[in-house]
Amino acid sequence: MVEQTLCIIKPDAVERNLIGKILQMIEGADLKIKALKMLHLNKKQAEGFYEVHKEKPFFDSLTNYMSSGPIVVAVLEGEDAIKRYRELMGATNPKEAKQGTIRNQFALDVEKNSVHGSDSPENAVKEIAYFFDKLEVL
Ligand code: IDP
Ligand code: MG
């Protein structure tokens, strides 16, 4: 099934000039970029995006980090895109991420792990709508 998923290139990766390399890996994995932009979230906007994690001990640190610098947000499309992009990202903790994955290559630690990807069709729809207007997604 053709799906769309939300990708974020997080502040640690933007800061280290990894946008191009990460987008190259995404395109190389046969995922199509259907929307793309750069922005700098404020703390409230980061908290809104990660609302599902608001009870977690790492919520404050995570939302500080996600609002600490510019990010790139993108909509990716392809067959089974949600699962395939999560496989390409690798495990949340880079120590557990398989070789060849984005997080294995670029993540700094379990928080500053370079990329985000939606984890289900329902969340993909919500997350895409958080960042993109209907008219902005091809
Ligand atoms: P995911 O990004 O692989 O889906 P989630 O469990 O949804 O992982 O967590 C969202 C984000 O919160 C992670 O990508 C990471 O930046 C951060 N995070 C997750 N677990 C921890 C932790 O144990 N310590 C610090 N930050 C964490
Ligand atoms: Mg998640």
Q: What's the confidence (pLDDT) of residue 36? A: 98
Mutation test of ligand 1: which of 62, 93, 104, 119 has the most ligand atoms closer than 8 Å to its C-beta? 62
106 CA from centroid of ligand 1 (Å): 15
18 CA from centroid of ligand 1 (Å): 20
Of the candidates 69, 48, 50, which has an alpha carbon nearest to the alpha carbon of residue 58? 50
Token pair of 3 as six digits = 């799906």
Token pair of 123 as six digits = 């969340």
Q: What's the confidence (pLDDT) of residue 27? A: 98
Of the candidates 15, 130, 127, 132, which has an alpha carbon nearest to the alpha carbon of residue 69? 15
Q: Is the dihedral of CA 85, 86, 92, 96 positive or negative?
A: negative
Contact 58 CB / ligand 1 (< 6 Å): yes
Residues annotated as catalytic are 116
% of the chain exceeding 90 in pLDDT: 100
Mutation test of ligand 1: which of 58, 88, 102 has the most ligand atoms closer than 8 Å to its C-beta? 58
Q: What's the confidence (pLDDT) of residue 134? A: 94
- Can you list the positions of beta strands (E) in the chain? 2-9, 32-39, 71-79, 115-117
Which residue ranges form the domains of the chain, and what is each CATH number? 2-136 (3.30.70.141)
Q: What's the confidence (pLDDT) of residue 83? A: 98
Low-confidence ranges of the chain (pLDDT < 50): none
In contact, 116 and 7? CB cutoff 8 Å = yes
Q: Look-up: residue for tokens 């699962």?
A: 83
What is d(CA 58, CA 55) in angstroms, rounded to the nearest whole number? 9
Predicted TM-score of the model (pTM): 0.98
Residue nearest to atom 9 of ligand 1 (CA): 92
Using left for φ > 0, alpha for ψ between -120 and 50, and beta otherwise, residue 117 falls in beta
